Amino acid sequence: MSLLDAILGALATLRANLLRSLLTMLGIIIGVAAVMAVVAVASGARALVVGKIGNLGSNLLVVTSGTITAGGLKLSTGSAMTLTDEDARVLPHDIPVDYIVTPTRVIETHTKLPRPRGIYWEYLTQEQIDAIPYLKKNAG
């Protein structure tokens, strides 16, 4: 059987079962379009999240509670109360939080707390000052 015979046989079979062939082709087209749409929506959502996180800047701090580690191994999550109300107390040198980022949401806080002005030297230890060249240079 030659290649030409195989092609002619396939075309004859397609013609004989025209409705079945058209429905199969329609199913394949709809399936490919659905996969393309899902991929496009997922990549758009990913770009949106990456853009929002990118707009937060490089001064982002992530705080999690309840993780117990030992020897570099994460033993459990959520079983220990490591953050308390005292930890949330705002001190004069604290920087207000503008955004809270969770795995499912980005929340803008619209805080009205004032921004710190300058360096609060009284809160720094000599060890901290010595560890940061800018502070060491300007201490005095």
User: Tens-digit pLDDT profile for the chain (140 aa)?
Assistant: 799 999 999 889 888 988 998 999 999 999 999 999 999 999 999 888 888 877 776 666 666 666 666 666 666 665 566 667 777 676 666 777 788 887 788 888 887 777 777 888 888 888 888 888 888 888 86
Distance between CA 35 and CA 70 in Å, rounded? 44
Structural domain of 88: 58-140
Q: Which of 34, 55, 76 is the last residue of a domain?
A: 55
Count: domains in the chain? 2
pTM: 0.37
Structure tokens at 15: 């013609």
Looking at the structure, tell me whether residues 14 and 34 fall in a common domain. yes
Q: Are the beta carbons of 66 and 79 closer than 8 angstroms?
A: yes
Looking at the structure, tell me whether residues 71 and 10 fall in a common domain. no
Distance between CA 120 and CA 140 in Å, rounded? 12
* Model pLDDT, residue 57: 66
Looking at the structure, tell me whether residues 40 and 63 fall in a common domain. no
